[in-house]
Amino acid sequence: MGVNIVASCSLAALMVFMAASLFLSTVTVAASVPAVYVFGDSLADVGNNDYLVTVLKADFSHNGMDYPGGKATGRFSNGKNSADFIAEKLGLATSPPYLALSSSSNANYANGVSFASGGAGVSNATNTDLCITFDKQIEYYSGVYASLARSLGQAQSDNHLAKSIFAITIGSNDIIHYAKANTAAGAGDGPSQQYVHTLIQSLTGQLQSLYNLGARKVLFLGTGPVGCTPSLRELSSTKDCSALANAMAVQYNKAAEAVLSGMSAQHPDLHYALFDSSAALLRYIDQPAAYGFAEAKAACCGLGDMHAKIACTPLSAYCANRSDHVFWDFYHPTEATAQKLTDTAFDGSAPFIFPINIRQLSAI
Ligand SMILES: *[C@@H]1O[C@H](CO)[C@@H](O)[C@H](O)[C@H]1NC(C)=O
Ligand SMILES: *[C@@H]1O[C@H](CO)[C@@H](O)[C@H](O)[C@H]1NC(C)=O
């Protein structure tokens, strides 16, 4: 009996210990990442474009039909997007849109800010007057950087930013524009490779600027297989993916990896995780049923062929089940797709997320 008591005591102790370590590991993730600073395009926009005069907006139905309250917020999705799921997994609130914060007199930038804006590209020339371009996002962020240094003091602000995650999703719009303007070009031809090379040169400078402004944990979400978006498929008579656009996405993601690994070799205090959205999302497109999808080609919401001729508006048709569609509208993934991709980026491994995943990046 005495033995039994000892045994059950140690079992209880073990369970308390396990509960405590579970609790501690949850706390560790939250405590090591105080905030997320988000940059990029419509894949992460949580409402910046609501404040712009532009056609690139999503603050009307049917967008948001599955968002809490069924509300259109400016997210280009039926529900939440990757920025929401990343924050959720880190135990943080979604970083609010910069243009919402900056219009208030006592803006708090320490809990994270999103500069992401639908339409943005690496190049200034992509949707110049229709969005907050990536260069402009960095310019806004430099103001935030200065403001944090004033309110927290330089040392504490640097420390705060070094622990924060800088999540960046940029490049899809540049590639989509190029592919739509060059439909006759062959996949991997010289000019398209040269164009991606030019994008990467800009991206190198932009990432260096963010490093100079305190970014030390970079999460880079590469471009998806944009040639398989309903919009680009619809251009082909056979409804195939644009091989040109997909080849550019592969080249771009590979080159972005080289830039980040070069930067981290040069700056040992820089850590990064690169998500190859192209490789990750192609799995759903090639084998939809294996990942719980029934439709990987047509958009859920839109009008015309493949629901891809006309955008998702209040007048558009939409599918009954948003969870079994890979694409919400002619360019954007559904909430279901964003959630599955984020799960892989958070806890997955190479060849999808490397050299470390988001959980490991956050624990540094
Ligand atoms: C892009 O625009 C920004 C201003 O928003 C400017 O500072 C930068 O030099 C421009 N870059 C190029 C390559 O034109
Ligand atoms: C919608 O699709 C998901 C994913 O394939 C499936 O699990 C769910 O049962 C479907 N819902 C309905 C109502 O058919």
Which residue's CA lies nearest to atom 3 of ligand 1?
Answer: 135
Residue 271 designated active-site = no
- pLDDT for residue 1 is more than 60: no
Region 134-151: mean pLDDT is 97
Which residue's CA lies nearest to atom 8 of ligand 1?
Answer: 135
Pocket of ligand 2 (CB under 6 A): 292, 294, 321, 323-324
Q: Out of 50, 174, 329, 362, which one is annotated catalytic?
A: 329
Q: Which atom of ligand 1 is closest in space to residue 123's alpha carbon?
A: 13
Rounded distance between C-alpha atoms, residue 351 and residue 355, angstroms: 9
In this prediction, residue 104 carries a pLDDT of 83
* CB 135 less than 6 A from any atom of ligand 1: yes
- pLDDT for residue 17 is more than 50: no
Query: Mind listing the pLDDT tens digit for each residue in 235-281?
Result: 999 999 999 999 999 999 999 999 999 999 999 999 999 999 999 99
Q: Which atom of ligand 1 is closest in space to residue 133's alpha carbon?
A: 5
- pLDDT for residue 26 is more than 60: no
Radius of gyration of the chain (CA): 21
Residue among 135, 138, 174, 206 whose CB has most ligand 1 atoms within 8 A, to mutate: 135
Distance 300 CA to ligand 2 centre (A): 14
* Angle, alpha carbons 182-187-191 (nearest 5°): 60
Q: Which atom of ligand 1 is closest in space to residue 136's alpha carbon?
A: 5
* Helix then strand then coil, % of the chain, to nearest 5: 50, 10, 40
pLDDT-based confidence at 31, cuts 50/70/90? Answer: low
Residue 75 and residue 87 in contact, taking contact as beta carbons nearer than 8 Å:
no
Distance 142 CA to ligand 1 centre (A): 14
Residue among 122, 124, 131 whose CB has most ligand 1 atoms within 8 A, to mutate: 124
Q: 313 by DSSP, 3-state: which?
A: coil
Rounded distance between C-alpha atoms, residue 159 and residue 12, angstroms: 39
Distance 142 CA to ligand 2 centre (A): 44
Rounded distance between C-alpha atoms, residue 99 and residue 166, angstroms: 18
Q: Out of 174, 307, 332, 362, which one is annotated catalytic?
A: 332
Beta bridge partners of 37: 113, 166
pLDDT-based confidence at 4, cuts 50/70/90? Answer: very low
User: Relative to the alpha carbon of 138, which ligand is closest?
Assistant: 1
Angle between helices 154-163 and 134-152 (to 10 degrees): 130
In this prediction, residue 28 carries a pLDDT of 44
User: How high is the mean pLDDT of the chain?
Assistant: 92
Which residue's CA lies nearest to atom 12 of ligand 1?
Answer: 124
pLDDT-based confidence at 105, cuts 50/70/90? Answer: confident
Distance 334 CA to ligand 2 centre (A): 13
Q: Which two tokens stand for residue 102?
A: 């900056």
The structural domains of the chain, ordered by start, are: 33-363 (3.40.50.1110)
Which residue's CA lies nearest to atom 1 of ligand 1?
Answer: 124
DSSP per position, 223-269: ---GGGSHHHHHTSTT----HHHHHHHHHHHHHHHHHHHHHHHH-TT
Q: Out of 42, 95, 172, 278, which one is annotated catalytic?
A: 42
CB neighbour list of residue 94: distance below 8 Å, 6 or more residues apart: 46, 83, 84, 87, 88, 114
User: Relative to the alpha carbon of 324, which ligand is closest?
Assistant: 2
Distance 290 CA to ligand 2 centre (A): 14
Distance 324 CA to ligand 2 centre (A): 6
Closest CA relative to residue 95, chosen from 167, 160, 192, 143: 167
Rounded distance between C-alpha atoms, residue 35 and residue 305, angstroms: 42
Residue 42 designated active-site = yes
Rounded distance between C-alpha atoms, residue 83 and residue 275, angstroms: 14
pLDDT-based confidence at 106, cuts 50/70/90? Answer: confident
Residue 329 designated active-site = yes
Q: Which atom of ligand 2 is closest in space to residue 336's alpha carbon?
A: 4
User: Relative to the alpha carbon of 326, which ligand is closest?
Assistant: 2
CB neighbour list of residue 178: distance below 8 Å, 6 or more residues apart: 192, 195, 245, 248
- Which residues in 92-116 are b (16+ Cβ under 10 Å) and which e? bebbbbbbbbeeeeeeebbebbbbb
* CB 136 less than 6 A from any atom of ligand 1: yes
Query: Mind listing the pLDDT tens digit for each residue in 51-78?
Result: 999 999 999 999 999 999 999 999 999 9
Check whether the bond before 351 is cis (ω within 30° of 0).
yes
Region 291-306: mean pLDDT is 96
| Length of the chain measured in residues | 364
